[in-house]
Structure 1
Amino acid sequence: MVDTEPDFGPNEIRSYLQVNGWTPVDGGPLAELWSLPGLSDEVVLVPLKPGAPDFAKRVHILLNDLARVETQGVRTVHDAIATVYNDVTDLRAAHPSMSDGSIPLEAGYELFVSAKRLRVASAAATIRRQGHFRNFPPRAREQAREVRLGQTRRGSYIVPIISQARSPIEVYSPGQSNIDADIEEILFDRRVTATMSRALGVLEELATGDREPTPSEINDSVGEGVSYELCQALAKVVNTDSVGTLDVSFNWSRVAAAPSGAPQRVEFNHEAIETVDIVARQLKTRTYARQHLIYGVVTDLSRQPDDDDGRVGVRTLLQRRSRIVWMHLPPPVYRVAVRCHDEGIPVRVQGVLTSPPGGHAFMDVSDFGPDPSLPLSEAPG
Structure 2
Amino acid sequence: MVDITPGFGPEEIRSYLKVTGWAPVSGGDVAELWSLPGPADEVVLVPMKPGAPDFSKRARILMHDLARVEFEDVQTVHDAIATVYNDVTDLRASDPSMNDGTIPLESGYELFLSAKRIRVASAAATIRRQGHFRNLPPRAREQAREVRLGQTRRGSYVVPIISQARSPQDVYAPGQDHIDVQVEETLFDRRVTATMSRALGVLEDMAGAHRGPTPSEINDSIGEGVSYELCQALAKVVNTESVSALDVAFRWSRVAAPPPGTPAHVEFNRDAIEIVDQISEQLRTKVYTREHLIYGVVTDLSRQPDDDTGRVGVQTLIKRRSRTVWMDLPDGDYHTAVHCHDAGIPVRVQGMLTSPPGGLARMSVTVFGPDPSLGAN
When the two structures are superposed, what TM-score results if normalisation uses the length of structure 1? 0.97
Which residue is equivalent to 1:317? 317
- 1:3 to partner: Cα distance: 2.0
Matched, 1:51 2:44: no
Which residue is equivalent to 2:96? 96
Contact 2:4 2:60 in 1 (8 A): no
Q: Secondary structure at the match of 1:292?
A: strand
Contact 1:174 1:345 in 2 (8 A): yes
Contact 2:167 2:183 in 1 (8 A): no
Aligned residues: 377
Matched, 1:292 2:292: yes
- Partners of 1:321 and 1:22 in 2: how far apart? 39
- 1:27 to partner: Cα distance: 1.7
Contact 2:260 2:376 in 1 (8 A): no
- 1:356 to partner: Cα distance: 1.2
Distance of aligned partners of 1:324 and 1:339 in 2 relative to their CA distance in 1, 3 Å threshold: same
Which moves more between the two structures, 4-13 or 204-213?
4-13
Which residue is equivalent to 2:201? 201
- Partners of 1:323 and 1:286 in 2: how far apart? 32
Matched, 1:362 2:362: yes
Letter of the 1:327 counterpart: M
Q: Secondary structure at the match of 1:351?
A: strand
- Partners of 1:220 and 1:109 in 2: how far apart? 32
Matched, 1:15 2:23: no
Kindly report the root-mean-square deviation, in angstroms, between the aligned alpha carbons of the 2 structures: 1.3
Which residue is equivalent to 1:214? 214
- Partners of 1:95 and 1:49 in 2: how far apart? 46
- Partners of 2:267 and 2:171 in 1: how far apart? 34
Q: Any residues of structure 2 matched to 1:183-332 within 5 Å, and which?
A: 183-332=183-332
- Partners of 2:194 and 2:39 in 1: how far apart? 37
Structure 1 unaligned regions, length at least 5: none
- 1:171 to partner: Cα distance: 2.0
Q: Any residues of structure 2 matched to 1:65-144 within 5 Å, and which?
A: 65-144=65-144
Distance of aligned partners of 1:168 and 1:4 in 2 relative to their CA distance in 1, 3 Å threshold: closer
Measured against aligned partners, the alpha-carbon deviations of 1:91-147 in whole angstroms (never above 9, x if no partner) come to 001111111111111110000000100000000000000000001100000000000
Contact 1:168 1:375 in 2 (8 A): no
- 1:376 to partner: Cα distance: 5.8
- Partners of 1:361 and 1:190 in 2: how far apart? 25
- 1:167 to partner: Cα distance: 6.9
- 1:169 to partner: Cα distance: 8.1
- Partners of 1:236 and 1:265 in 2: how far apart? 20
Q: Secondary structure at the match of 1:373?
A: helix
Contact 1:31 1:46 in 2 (8 A): yes
Contact 1:167 1:255 in 2 (8 A): no
Which residue is equivalent to 1:28? 28
Letter of the 2:359 counterpart: G
Distance of aligned partners of 1:57 and 1:160 in 2 relative to their CA distance in 1, 3 Å threshold: same
Which residue is equivalent to 2:40? 40
Measured against aligned partners, the alpha-carbon deviations of 1:326-358 in whole angstroms (never above 9, x if no partner) come to 111111111111111111111000000011111
Contact 2:11 2:168 in 1 (8 A): no
Contact 2:312 2:337 in 1 (8 A): yes
- Partners of 1:174 and 1:242 in 2: how far apart? 53
Contact 2:131 2:228 in 1 (8 A): yes
Which moves more between the two structures, 292-301 or 17-26?
17-26
Which moves more between the two structures, 142-151 or 93-102?
93-102
Displacement over 6 Å in runs of 4+ = none
